[in-house]
Amino acid sequence: MRTGAPAGQTGYFHEVAFCGSDDELVALVGPFLADGSEAGEPTVVALDDRSRDVVRAATGHLPGVTYLRHRTQYERPALAVRRYRDLVESHLAAGAAQVRAVGAVPHPGLGEPWAPWARYEAAIHRVLADRPLWGLCLYDTRTAPRDVLADVERMHPHVAAPGGAHRASTRFADPMAVVARLPAAPPDPLEALPPAVELVQPAPAIARRSVRDVGGRSDVAPGAVDDLLIAVSEAVGNAWAHGRPPVVLRACAAADRVVVTVSDRGPGPADPLVGLTPATDRTSGGLGLWIAHQLCSDVHLATGDDGFTVRLTARRAADPAVP
């Protein structure tokens, strides 16, 4: 039997909470964790370091509550979708009647672009729709931009408030409608320069070999370049199978990253969440783009009058923090 606001309901109880102070943060998250612990419901927490420390200081040790490293859980959108799905499935398989999760989704106030994470919000809403998960997405109004706050109100069917209040969102709309109006990601500055390699109608093997050579001009780790090569092969294969000729690959490199674009004249995938939601076959190109999203630091999809483009980026690992 489910407890709390989702009691008597089925599927994902996708809730947003806004806080404007540390006191509101604790008033929102503290009871959520304590009630979950008391009910014996596995609960995971993925907050930025500062918010995590505030919550832990206020709540202490609670049985059944697990704190995840925010940068790992939200490393990139596709991985976050997969990691939450796997967490929920493992707890349900162990007998949980409800799983709780509280997370701070990245946004510009936390140093991340919003469009990929808005797509994540829509994707997680779809992927976990039929699972007994109570997810509390926390947005700090001191750091989140106004456009982000407006979007998340439209993407969550439920809203929590300090003191234990829960209500249906009066602004909820189809998350896909929010995603559909998001602006395209700006080009990488490297794209304004002449490419190191430009190939027309390349076979996947030639594309991999050429990109490997370009990757050798950067400081990106060989393992990350190898992952990029797999993603490039998938993107080129998709363009051949599902796009319209010509297929054009351009690749360039700087010390800290390798950027590859694969373009064709086709309309691109119909699903705006392609690549973020798990795919099981290659009939639509979804599996290849899902693989690319798992492997690359950044994946951006763009559709325009001149066709469809996949931009793949492999980045040099961040330097370790200095104590």
Better-scored residue on pLDDT, 310 or 304: 310
Q: Which of 156, 180, 204 is the last residue of a domain?
A: 180
> For the domain that residue 222 is a member of, what is the CATH number?
3.30.565.10
pLDDT value of residue 323: 37
pLDDT, the chain, mean: 93
Domain that holds residue 246: 189-315
pLDDT value of residue 306: 92
Residue 83 has φ and ψ, to the nearest 5°, of -65, -40
* Lookup: tokens for 315: 């980045």
With CA atoms as reference, report the closest residue to 286 among 312, 303, 268. 268
- Report residue 174's pLDDT band, with 50, 70 and 90 as the boundaries: confident
Question: Strand, helix or coil at 322?
Answer: coil
pLDDT single digits (tens) 119-146: 999 999 999 999 999 999 999 999 999 9
pLDDT value of residue 144: 96
Give burial (CB, 10 Å; 0-12/13-18/19+) of 22. middle
Q: Has residue 322 been placed in a domain?
A: no
Q: Has residue 154 been placed in a domain?
A: yes
| 81 and 215 both lie in a single domain | no
- Report residue 280's pLDDT band, with 50, 70 and 90 as the boundaries: low
| 171 and 196 both lie in a single domain | no
Q: Has residue 3 been placed in a domain?
A: no
| 80 and 116 both lie in a single domain | yes
Q: Has residue 84 been placed in a domain?
A: yes
| 131 and 48 both lie in a single domain | yes
Strand 257-264 with 248-254, pairing:
antiparallel
Q: Has residue 136 been placed in a domain?
A: yes
| 303 and 216 both lie in a single domain | yes
Q: Has residue 211 been placed in a domain?
A: yes
Distance CA(119)–CA(125), nearest Å, equals 10
pLDDT single digits (tens) 6-29: 999 999 999 999 999 999 999 999
pLDDT single digits (tens) 50-72: 999 999 999 999 999 999 999 99
Give burial (CB, 10 Å; 0-12/13-18/19+) of 202. buried
Contact 118, 155 (CB under 8 A): yes
CA distances from 96 to 15, 35, 216, 258, 270 (A): 20, 15, 48, 43, 36
- Report residue 278's pLDDT band, with 50, 70 and 90 as the boundaries: confident
Q: How many domains does the chain have?
A: 2
Kindly give, in sequence order, each residue whose CB lies less than 8 Å from that of residue 82, ignoring residues fewer than 6 positions away: 278, 294
| 90 and 193 both lie in a single domain | no
Q: Has residue 299 been placed in a domain?
A: yes
- Report residue 285's pLDDT band, with 50, 70 and 90 as the boundaries: low
- Report residue 320's pLDDT band, with 50, 70 and 90 as the boundaries: very low
Distance CA(249)–CA(226), nearest Å, equals 17
For the chain, what percent of residues have pLDDT higher than 90? 85
Which whole number is the average pLDDT over 206-229? 97
Q: Which of 180, 211, 240 is the last residue of a domain?
A: 180
Q: Which of 150, 180, 210 is the last residue of a domain?
A: 180
| 168 and 27 both lie in a single domain | yes
pLDDT value of residue 309: 96
> For the domain that residue 67 is a member of, what is the CATH number?
3.40.50.300
pLDDT value of residue 321: 42
Query: Is residue 319 scored above 60 in pLDDT?
Result: no
Which whole number is the average pLDDT over 69-89? 95
Better-scored residue on pLDDT, 286 or 228: 228
| 161 and 246 both lie in a single domain | no
Q: Has residue 6 been placed in a domain?
A: no
| 197 and 147 both lie in a single domain | no
| 51 and 153 both lie in a single domain | yes
With CA atoms as reference, report the closest residue to 30 among 22, 69, 191, 188. 22
| 199 and 76 both lie in a single domain | no
| 128 and 221 both lie in a single domain | no
